[in-house]
Amino acid sequence: MKLSKPSREILHGLRGFGGALIVRAPDAYTVFGDGQHDGMVAQGMLFNSFDKDFAIVEFGTLAKTLVPSATASLTKTGFSVASSKQRKVFKFAGPSELDRLAGYVTRLDDLFEGRRIISFDLKSAWLELQMKMIRQIEPSHLCFSQKSDAVVRVKGLDVRVQLKGAGHPLGKLDHSFESVIGASSDDPFEFWVKAPTFRLLKLSDYEVTIYEAGMAEFIALDGNVTYLLRDQRIGEFLARATNAPPDPDTLP
Protein backbone atom coordinates (compact mmCIF):
# COMPACT_ATOMS: atom_id res chain seq x y z
CA MET A 1 0.00 0.00 0.00
CA LYS A 2 1.29 3.44 -0.91
CA LEU A 3 1.04 6.22 1.63
CA SER A 4 -1.08 8.97 0.04
CA LYS A 5 0.30 12.44 -0.55
CA PRO A 6 -2.01 14.05 2.09
CA SER A 7 -0.89 11.43 4.65
CA ARG A 8 2.77 12.07 3.83
CA GLU A 9 2.21 15.82 4.23
CA ILE A 10 0.60 15.36 7.64
CA LEU A 11 3.44 13.19 8.97
CA HIS A 12 6.17 15.35 7.42
CA GLY A 13 4.61 18.39 9.12
CA LEU A 14 5.13 16.69 12.50
CA ARG A 15 8.84 15.95 11.94
CA GLY A 16 9.87 18.23 14.82
CA PHE A 17 8.34 15.88 17.42
CA GLY A 18 11.09 13.28 17.16
CA GLY A 19 9.24 10.61 19.16
CA ALA A 20 7.13 7.59 18.25
CA LEU A 21 4.13 7.09 15.94
CA ILE A 22 1.22 4.73 16.54
CA VAL A 23 -1.56 4.20 14.01
CA ARG A 24 -4.83 2.62 15.14
CA ALA A 25 -6.80 0.98 12.34
CA PRO A 26 -8.29 2.18 10.18
CA ASP A 27 -6.77 5.69 10.11
CA ALA A 28 -6.18 7.31 13.54
CA TYR A 29 -2.63 8.44 14.29
CA THR A 30 -0.89 9.61 17.46
CA VAL A 31 2.61 11.10 17.49
CA PHE A 32 4.47 11.47 20.78
CA GLY A 33 7.02 14.22 21.35
CA ASP A 34 10.47 13.27 22.57
CA GLY A 35 13.22 14.99 24.56
CA GLN A 36 12.39 18.65 25.18
CA HIS A 37 9.00 18.12 23.49
CA ASP A 38 7.86 15.20 25.67
CA GLY A 39 4.95 17.27 26.99
CA MET A 40 3.17 17.33 23.63
CA VAL A 41 1.23 14.81 21.55
CA ALA A 42 -0.38 15.20 18.10
CA GLN A 43 -3.44 13.27 16.96
CA GLY A 44 -5.61 13.12 13.85
CA MET A 45 -6.68 11.02 10.88
CA LEU A 46 -4.57 9.90 7.92
CA PHE A 47 -5.85 9.73 4.35
CA ASN A 48 -5.26 5.98 4.14
CA SER A 49 -7.18 3.02 5.51
CA PHE A 50 -5.12 0.39 7.36
CA ASP A 51 -6.28 -3.07 8.38
CA LYS A 52 -4.11 -3.36 11.50
CA ASP A 53 -2.48 -1.25 14.21
CA PHE A 54 1.23 -0.49 13.91
CA ALA A 55 3.92 1.71 15.48
CA ILE A 56 7.20 3.28 14.38
CA VAL A 57 9.68 4.27 17.11
CA GLU A 58 11.95 6.25 14.78
CA PHE A 59 9.20 8.64 13.79
CA GLY A 60 11.36 11.79 13.73
CA THR A 61 13.72 10.26 11.16
CA LEU A 62 10.84 8.78 9.15
CA ALA A 63 8.94 12.09 9.01
CA LYS A 64 12.01 13.99 7.77
CA THR A 65 12.34 11.60 4.81
CA LEU A 66 8.72 12.19 3.69
CA VAL A 67 9.63 15.17 1.53
CA PRO A 68 7.30 16.07 -1.38
CA SER A 69 9.47 14.24 -3.92
CA ALA A 70 9.57 10.99 -1.89
CA THR A 71 7.26 8.00 -2.13
CA ALA A 72 6.35 5.78 0.81
CA SER A 73 4.92 2.28 0.81
CA LEU A 74 3.59 0.16 3.64
CA THR A 75 4.97 -3.40 3.59
CA LYS A 76 4.38 -6.35 5.90
CA THR A 77 7.28 -5.32 8.13
CA GLY A 78 7.39 -1.52 7.96
CA PHE A 79 7.62 1.62 5.82
CA SER A 80 9.76 1.83 2.71
CA VAL A 81 10.55 5.43 1.74
CA ALA A 82 12.23 6.16 -1.59
CA SER A 83 13.65 9.41 -2.91
CA SER A 84 15.90 10.31 -5.83
CA LYS A 85 18.95 9.71 -3.63
CA GLN A 86 18.15 6.69 -1.49
CA ARG A 87 15.67 4.17 -0.13
CA LYS A 88 15.18 3.73 3.62
CA VAL A 89 13.20 1.11 5.52
CA PHE A 90 11.61 1.80 8.90
CA LYS A 91 10.54 -1.36 10.69
CA PHE A 92 7.37 -1.67 12.74
CA ALA A 93 7.78 -1.85 16.49
CA GLY A 94 7.29 -5.21 18.17
CA PRO A 95 4.09 -6.28 19.97
CA SER A 96 5.24 -5.14 23.41
CA GLU A 97 6.13 -1.63 22.22
CA LEU A 98 2.86 -1.42 20.28
CA ASP A 99 0.93 -2.38 23.42
CA ARG A 100 2.86 0.18 25.49
CA LEU A 101 2.05 3.03 23.10
CA ALA A 102 -1.57 1.91 22.81
CA GLY A 103 -1.80 2.11 26.60
CA TYR A 104 -0.54 5.70 26.50
CA VAL A 105 -3.25 6.61 23.98
CA THR A 106 -5.92 5.11 26.25
CA ARG A 107 -4.65 7.07 29.25
CA LEU A 108 -4.65 10.26 27.18
CA ASP A 109 -8.32 9.72 26.41
CA ASP A 110 -9.02 9.41 30.14
CA LEU A 111 -7.18 12.66 30.96
CA PHE A 112 -9.31 14.65 28.55
CA GLU A 113 -12.59 13.48 30.05
CA GLY A 114 -12.17 15.72 33.12
CA ARG A 115 -13.73 19.11 33.86
CA ARG A 116 -13.02 21.94 31.45
CA ILE A 117 -11.82 25.23 32.93
CA ILE A 118 -12.12 27.36 29.82
CA SER A 119 -12.38 27.23 26.02
CA PHE A 120 -11.34 30.02 23.65
CA ASP A 121 -10.35 30.62 20.03
CA LEU A 122 -6.94 31.63 18.72
CA LYS A 123 -6.68 33.14 15.24
CA SER A 124 -3.80 32.31 12.92
CA ALA A 125 -2.80 36.00 12.69
CA TRP A 126 -2.51 36.16 16.50
CA LEU A 127 -0.51 32.91 16.55
CA GLU A 128 1.81 34.16 13.81
CA LEU A 129 2.57 37.24 15.90
CA GLN A 130 3.34 35.12 18.98
CA MET A 131 5.67 32.89 16.95
CA LYS A 132 7.49 35.99 15.70
CA MET A 133 7.90 37.25 19.28
CA ILE A 134 9.19 33.86 20.41
CA ARG A 135 11.79 33.80 17.63
CA GLN A 136 12.96 37.33 18.44
CA ILE A 137 12.94 37.23 22.24
CA GLU A 138 13.49 33.49 22.81
CA PRO A 139 11.57 33.03 26.07
CA SER A 140 11.86 29.68 27.79
CA HIS A 141 8.14 29.37 28.61
CA LEU A 142 4.68 30.71 27.80
CA CYS A 143 2.04 31.06 30.48
CA PHE A 144 -1.68 31.20 29.68
CA SER A 145 -3.44 32.60 32.73
CA GLN A 146 -6.36 34.44 34.19
CA LYS A 147 -6.07 36.30 37.46
CA SER A 148 -8.59 38.57 39.18
CA ASP A 149 -9.35 40.79 36.16
CA ALA A 150 -11.21 38.00 34.30
CA VAL A 151 -9.07 38.41 31.18
CA VAL A 152 -7.02 35.57 29.73
CA ARG A 153 -3.45 36.55 28.90
CA VAL A 154 -0.39 34.82 27.53
CA LYS A 155 3.04 35.87 28.79
CA GLY A 156 6.42 34.97 27.38
CA LEU A 157 8.81 34.38 30.27
CA ASP A 158 12.52 33.61 30.32
CA VAL A 159 13.40 31.75 33.51
CA ARG A 160 16.93 30.99 32.30
CA VAL A 161 18.09 34.46 33.32
CA GLN A 162 17.61 33.35 36.91
CA LEU A 163 20.33 30.72 36.48
CA LYS A 164 23.04 33.14 35.35
CA GLY A 165 23.48 35.14 38.51
CA ALA A 166 24.52 34.20 41.99
CA GLY A 167 21.07 34.86 43.44
CA HIS A 168 18.35 32.34 44.14
CA PRO A 169 17.05 30.92 40.82
CA LEU A 170 13.44 31.21 41.94
CA GLY A 171 13.55 34.97 42.16
CA LYS A 172 11.37 37.39 40.25
CA LEU A 173 10.68 36.37 36.65
CA ASP A 174 11.28 38.67 33.70
CA HIS A 175 8.25 39.16 31.45
CA SER A 176 9.55 38.99 27.88
CA PHE A 177 6.20 39.90 26.33
CA GLU A 178 2.47 39.80 27.07
CA SER A 179 -0.66 39.50 24.94
CA VAL A 180 -4.34 39.66 25.86
CA ILE A 181 -6.57 36.92 24.46
CA GLY A 182 -9.79 38.38 25.84
CA ALA A 183 -11.67 35.24 26.85
CA SER A 184 -12.80 34.75 30.42
CA SER A 185 -13.30 31.89 32.85
CA ASP A 186 -15.21 31.49 36.09
CA ASP A 187 -12.05 30.11 37.70
CA PRO A 188 -8.55 31.64 37.80
CA PHE A 189 -6.00 29.34 36.18
CA GLU A 190 -2.46 29.05 34.84
CA PHE A 191 -1.18 26.78 32.10
CA TRP A 192 2.53 26.67 31.24
CA VAL A 193 4.20 25.37 28.09
CA LYS A 194 7.82 25.43 26.97
CA ALA A 195 8.29 27.95 24.16
CA PRO A 196 10.20 25.55 21.82
CA THR A 197 7.34 23.07 22.18
CA PHE A 198 4.71 25.75 21.50
CA ARG A 199 6.54 26.56 18.25
CA LEU A 200 5.64 23.07 16.95
CA LEU A 201 2.05 24.23 16.45
CA LYS A 202 1.25 24.63 12.76
CA LEU A 203 -0.06 28.02 11.68
CA SER A 204 -3.85 27.74 11.89
CA ASP A 205 -6.95 28.96 13.67
CA TYR A 206 -7.42 26.98 16.89
CA GLU A 207 -10.09 26.06 19.36
CA VAL A 208 -8.30 25.75 22.72
CA THR A 209 -9.59 24.03 25.84
CA ILE A 210 -7.82 24.01 29.23
CA TYR A 211 -8.69 21.11 31.53
CA GLU A 212 -8.62 20.88 35.30
CA ALA A 213 -6.26 17.89 35.09
CA GLY A 214 -3.45 20.17 33.85
CA MET A 215 -3.95 19.38 30.18
CA ALA A 216 -4.71 21.56 27.15
CA GLU A 217 -6.18 20.71 23.77
CA PHE A 218 -5.39 22.77 20.65
CA ILE A 219 -7.69 21.75 17.78
CA ALA A 220 -6.54 23.09 14.39
CA LEU A 221 -9.65 24.30 12.56
CA ASP A 222 -8.09 24.18 9.08
CA GLY A 223 -5.90 21.12 9.40
CA ASN A 224 -6.15 17.46 10.34
CA VAL A 225 -4.35 17.66 13.68
CA THR A 226 -5.09 18.16 17.37
CA TYR A 227 -2.25 18.97 19.76
CA LEU A 228 -2.47 17.73 23.35
CA LEU A 229 -0.20 19.39 25.91
CA ARG A 230 0.46 18.89 29.58
CA ASP A 231 1.16 21.75 31.97
CA GLN A 232 4.94 22.31 31.95
CA ARG A 233 5.44 24.32 35.13
CA ILE A 234 8.68 26.24 35.41
CA GLY A 235 9.51 24.36 38.59
CA GLU A 236 10.43 21.34 36.49
CA PHE A 237 12.85 23.42 34.41
CA LEU A 238 14.53 25.00 37.42
CA ALA A 239 14.75 21.78 39.38
CA ARG A 240 16.61 20.07 36.53
CA ALA A 241 18.88 23.06 35.92
CA THR A 242 19.87 23.47 39.56
CA ASN A 243 19.72 19.81 40.61
CA ALA A 244 17.52 20.89 43.48
CA PRO A 245 13.85 20.23 44.24
CA PRO A 246 11.62 23.25 43.59
CA ASP A 247 10.22 25.17 46.51
CA PRO A 248 6.42 24.89 46.23
CA ASP A 249 5.94 28.13 48.19
CA THR A 250 7.79 30.22 45.59
CA LEU A 251 6.70 28.60 42.35
CA PRO A 252 3.87 30.11 40.29
pLDDT in tens, the chain (252 residues): 999 999 999 999 999 998 999 999 999 999 999 888 988 999 999 999 999 999 999 999 999 999 999 999 999 999 999 987 789 999 999 999 999 999 999 988 888 877 888 889 999 999 999 999 888 888 888 999 887 767 888 988 877 665 555 354 444 455 578 888 876 777 788 899 999 999 999 999 999 999 988 899 999 998 789 999 999 876 554 444 444 433 333 333
CA–CA dist 187, 64 (Å, integer): 42
Topology alike, domains 5-111 and 116-242: no
Class of domain 5-111: alpha beta
CATH architecture of the domain with range 116-242: Box (3.70)
Closest-CA residue to 14 (of 30, 1, 26):
30
User: Which residue in 31, 32, 27 sits closest to 6, CA to CA?
Assistant: 27
Sorted by where each begins, the domain ranges of the chain are 5-111, 116-242
**Cβ atoms of 56 and 42 closer than 8 Å:** no
The model carries a pTM of: 0.85
Q: How many CB atoms are located within 10 Å of the residue 247 CB?
A: 12
Contacts of residue 152, Cβ cutoff 8 Å, sequence gap at least 6: 118, 120, 144, 145, 146, 180, 181, 182, 183, 184, 185
